[in-house]
Structure 1
Amino acid sequence: MKSPSRNDGWHLDEIAVAIAGKKHWLWRAVDQDGYVLDEISGPPQYQGREAIADPASEEVGLPPKGMISDKTRPYGAAKRRVMPDAEHRSHNGLNNRVENSHVPLRKRERMLQSFRSPQVLATLRRDLPAVRSLFVPPRSNRSVFQIHPHRLLVMVQWKAVALDKWPIHLTRSARS
């Protein structure tokens, strides 16, 4: 895990998610290295944007130097209250990093035809970024000579963890 820096920049976005037929909002912050911080709330309100910005800065420990969002107006108001010193850039094209972080969630939602309970979504929110950050090397280490050893090491770690959790499944697949 990387240590937070004052030079971090966050990409902020919201996504509507159906849970048991009711619309909820997932507020997501992704830093420049791809680490995801997110929060679920009810209807889209001004407080939702603060709900992600305030706990995210507490969790990371330092407020970001800048934030990038889409053109939704309440982000500016939340920024003034929670992170007044951060530079705010609002442009649809700059926000692609956080938009791409919604893709695995949307794929899973399509498979399930919506989420049955908030617990399913919470489990998915907790596990997807952890697995992704395990397998995807940090942006600072993106040469071919660093990615391959990183992935080999991660696969060894993943198999060790999975073998502890599902020993029968992995031993059968290892034989075939």
Structure 2
Amino acid sequence: MPPQSAFAGFRFPPDVIVVAVRLYLRYGLSCRDVEELLLERGAEVDHVTIFRWVQRFTPLLADAARFCRHAPGDRWFVDETYIKVNGVWRYVYRAVDQDGQVIDVLVSARRDAAAARRFFRRALATLKVTPSEVVTDAAPVYPAVLDELVPSAWHHVERHANDRIEADHGQLKHRLRPMRGLRADRTAQTIIAGHAFM
């Protein structure tokens, strides 16, 4: 749980805010669905307020829970998928380890070497773990980026080797479906990272 000072100035108690954010991130619910569930429990909160809570508290909750996570594995399955943000296609770089734990996510306007490099730099800096094996699809940008940033890792490219992350993309798309569309890259990054955290 984030420090109590993070909740200063909010009308509702921290427990209500945390439950609302958790319901939104964990289950296939819209903000209006969460609004209805809270109303049934005696808390009258507008759906816009819930959305603002998600934007503000998701990074804080993920950061507070980082110490409770299992140590990430040393086999990373990396791939990108795509989503629409404000009517424009965006790429979502994602990685999971051999146990299915999400390593990191990055929303990018482009699918190129610069985006792949940014994704790997973030993941390596955040986790302080260097993978011994990285499994990717046959995208031509990965070999050079991996040679630069993780030269000791074995880069594995083989048909169906990346099925684990492909299946995980399906869970993400299933979660995003009830939403009425993402309006900004920052919103998409926060919600997708929050989904990974949950």
What is the RMSD of the two structures over their aligned residues, measured on CA atoms?
Answer: 1.7
1:74-102: per-residue Cα shift (whole Å, max 9, x none)? 11111011111100001230101111111
Q: 1:23 aligns with which of 77, 86, 89?
A: 89
Does 1:99 pair with 2:166?
yes
Aligned match of 1:155: none
Identity %: 25
Q: Distance in 1 between matches of 2:161 and 2:191?
A: 26
The 3 A distance-change label for structure 1 pair 112 and 2 is closer
2:105 and 2:193 in contact (8 A); partners too: no
SS at match of 2:94: strand
Runs of 5+ unmatched residues, structure 1: 132-176
1:128 counterpart letter in structure 2: H
Q: 1:89 aligns with which of 140, 144, 156?
A: 156
1:115 counterpart letter in structure 2: L
2:98 counterpart letter in structure 1: Q
SS at match of 2:162: helix
Q: Distance in 2 between matches of 1:118 and 1:50?
A: 18
Q: Distance in 2 between matches of 1:104 and 1:121?
A: 15
2:116 and 2:141 in contact (8 A); partners too: yes
Shift of 1:123: 3.3
RCO higher in structure (CA 8 A, sep ≥6): 2
TM-score w.r.t. the length of structure 1 is: 0.67
SS at match of 1:111: coil
TM-score w.r.t. the length of structure 2 is: 0.60
Q: How many residues align?
A: 129
Shift of 1:31: 1.2
2:77 and 2:98 in contact (8 A); partners too: yes
Does 1:70 pair with 2:129?
no
Runs of 5+ unmatched residues, structure 2: 1-68
